[in-house]
Amino acid sequence: KNQVEQSPQSLIILEGKNCTLQCNYTVSPFSNLRWYKQDTGRGPVSLTIMTFSENTKSNGRYTATLDADTKQSSLHITASQLSDSASYICVVIYFASGGSYIPTFGRGTSLIVHP
């Protein structure tokens, strides 16, 4: 069964600190993996998209890694800011028979950054 597991479920850190969020998946056949940020009351916004051959991708203070062999990804946030407080969702896309791309969502990690 295709699943995406994220950890931790929630995380509280102080402003300026770094943190790392984890994503493990069993989705197959793999197409790509995405990290989304969802602010309270808003729709998710894409942070990074990674394909099978990519190990690391950065977007400002956000750096995502992918190990396709172990089916693990991480999102590292550097020098956290109050505006980083949000839910971070890992989404793995697989290519289904019939030619469609199916997204499988993790349950997200809720990050709270305190001043």
Partner 1 sequence: DTAVSQTPKYLVTQMGNDKSIKCEQNLGHDTMYWYKQDSKKFLKIMFSYNNKELIINETVPNRFSPKSPDKAHLNLHINSLELGDSAVYFCASSSFGNEQFFGPGTRLTVL
Q: Is 99 left (phi over 0), alpha (psi -120 to 50) or beta?
A: left
- The bridge status of strand 86-96 relative to strand 100-105 is antiparallel
Q: Is 11 in the site for partner 1 (CB under 8 A)?
A: no
| Residue nearer to partner 1 on the CB measure, 107 or 114 | 107
| Residue nearer to partner 1 on the CB measure, 1 or 14 | 1
Q: How far is the CB of 92 from partner 1 (least distance, A)?
A: 12
d(CA 10, CA 31) in angstroms, rounded, equals 27
Q: What DSSP character marks residue 51? A: E
Token pair for 101? 């791309």
> Residues touching partner 1: how many (CB under 8 A)?
23
d(CA 78, CA 61) in angstroms, rounded, equals 5
Scan residues 43-102 and list those touching partner 1 (CB under 8 A).
43-46, 49, 87, 89, 93, 95, 98, 100-102
Token pair for 83? 């505006």
Please choose, out of 17-25, 57-65, 70-78, 107-115, the segment that lies near partner 1 by the rule CB under 8 A: 107-115
Q: Which positions touch partner 1 (CB under 8 A)?
A: 31, 34, 38, 41-46, 49, 87, 89, 93, 95, 98, 100-103, 105, 107-108, 110
